[in-house]
Structure 1
Amino acid sequence: CCQAASRPMKEQRSGRIVNVSSQAGLWSGRTGNGMAYKVAKAGIAHYTRSLAAELGPYNINVNAIAPGWILSSRAIASGRDRGEMRDRLLEQIPLGRMGLPEDCAKVVEFLVTDLSDYVTGQCIPVCGGYVAWG
C-alpha cells in the first residue's frame, strides 16, 4: 500500500503516510501466544523508519502510531471494558484510563498537518503511558 500511495506523492514532491503499529511492537513484555503479533507490529515500526529515509528526499513524511488499549468495538466485545480485566489493564496505564478512538485520530491529524513538518520516521505510542512501564 505504501509503495502505491507514494507514487503520486513522489510526482507532486509532497505527502504524508501514517502507518498503524501497536504498543505490542514497542516492548517485549511477556512472550507467548502474542509473539508473532509483536514481531509483526515491530516490523511496521522499522518499515516506517526505512520508508521515511527513502521518501524524505521527495518531501514525504512517513510516521506510524502505536495504539495501546483502545476502547474499540472489538475491545468492548471481548470484555476489556469491564470487570477484573479492565481493572488489571488500568493498573498498567499511568494515565488511568483506556484510550478512545479519538485519541488515535488526534495524533494522526497532527501527523498529516503542517504542525509535523519536521517529524518523520517516528512510531508514536498512543497508550496513556503503558509502554513507559514496559
Structure 2
Amino acid sequence: MNLFDLAGKVAIVTGGNGGIGLGMARGMASLGARIVIAGRNAEKAGVALKALHDMGAEAIFIAADVTKKADCQALVASTLEKFSRADILVNNAGTSIRKMPQDFTEEEWHHVLDTNLTSAFLCSQAVYPAMVKAGGGKIINIGSMMSLFGAPYATPYAASKGGIVQMTRAMATAWARDNIQVNAVLPGWIDTELTQRARQQVDGLHESVEKRTPHGRWGTPHDMAGIAAFLASGASDFVTGTAIPVDGGFSIGM
C-alpha cells in the first residue's frame, strides 16, 4: 500500500500559477495528481502549466476570481465537468498591503481579508458537496508566520492568516464525519513574488530572516512540495485541524 499515491486524484490550487501554490501543485503532481490551477492571470498560469506539463502532469487552468461565490462554484463545476471529481483543495490565493494600522483604508482592509480568508471559505463551501459524494477529501489552507506573530505593517494580513487557522479548526471538526481532513500550512519566509516586494519595502528584512532561521536561508517554493504531498495523500488520513509551520525553524528561532 502506497500511502503517498495520488494517481487519479484531482487537486484544485487557487493562486497556483506561481510561488507557494505552484510548488505545492508540483509536489502533488509528482505523486500522480491531476492539477487545476485557479486564478485571474492567464499569462502567468500558462508558464505554470508548462512547468507541470514538462514533468508529465495533467494540468489545466480555470479562470476565477475566488473572492466571488459564483466564481468559486463555477470553478468546482468546471473541474467536475472536466475530471468528474475534486479530491483536494489548496486555498492558496493571497495578497498583502504593507502599511501601519492607522493608514489602511476600509477598502484595503476588505481587499486583503476577502482575498486571503473569505476566498478560502467560499471555495471550501463550493467543493464540499463533491467531496461528500466522493466519500472524503482534503482541504489545505495556507496560513503564514503571521498566523503566530504580529508585525506593525501587516494588520489585515495577520488578521486574515490568524483567521485561516481558526477556520481550519472549525471546518475540521464539522467535516470529520464526512471523512474530509482540513489542515493549515504556515509557510515561513519563502522566496516568492510577494516576499520579494516585502524585502523592497521593509528595511533589513532579508538579513533578519536569514539570521533568525536555523536553516540560515529563505525557503523556496520547492520546499512546499513535501507538505502538500503529505496533507493531500492517505498518509494524513488521521491528521486534521492542524497548523503546520514549514519555515526552516523560523518560528522557533531566536
TM-score between both structures, scaled by the size of structure 2: 0.48
1:93 lines up with 2:194 in the alignment:
no
Deviations 1:20-55 (A, max 9, x none): 111111223x4x221221111010010001001011
Aligned residues: 130
Structure of higher RCO (CA pairs closer than 8 Å, 6+ residues apart): 1
Deviation, 1:77, is 5.2
SS of residue paired to 1:64: strand
**Native 8 Å contact 1:20 1:64 kept in 2:** yes
1:132 lines up with 2:132 in the alignment:
no
Q: Provide the C-alpha distance between the structure 2 equivalents of 1:112 and 1:92, rounded to a whole number of angstroms.
A: 30
Deviations 1:89-124 (A, max 9, x none): 101111211111011121011100111111101111
4+ long deviations beyond 6 Å = none
Q: Provide the C-alpha distance between the structure 2 equivalents of 1:102 and 1:64, rounded to a whole number of angstroms.
A: 18
Correspondence for 1:58:
178
Q: Provide the C-alpha distance between the structure 1 equivalents of 2:253 and 2:238, rounded to a whole number of angstroms.
A: 28
Query: Which consecutive residues of structure 1, in runs of 5 or more, have no partner in the other structure?
Result: none
Instruction: Select between 70-79 and 88-97 the one with higher mean Cα deviation.
Output: 70-79
SS of residue paired to 1:43: helix
TM-score between both structures, scaled by the size of structure 1: 0.87
**Native 8 Å contact 1:67 1:126 kept in 2:** yes
* RMSD after superposition: 1.9
Instruction: Select between 16-25 and 5-14 the one with higher mean Cα deviation.
Output: 5-14
Given residue 213 of structure 2, which amino acid in structure 1 is its aligned partner?
I
Query: Which consecutive residues of structure 2, in runs of 5 or more, have no partner in the other structure?
Result: 1-122
**Which has more radius of gyration?**
2
The match for 1:19 among 141, 147, 159 is 141
Correspondence for 2:100:
none
Given residue 174 of structure 2, which amino acid in structure 1 is its aligned partner?
E
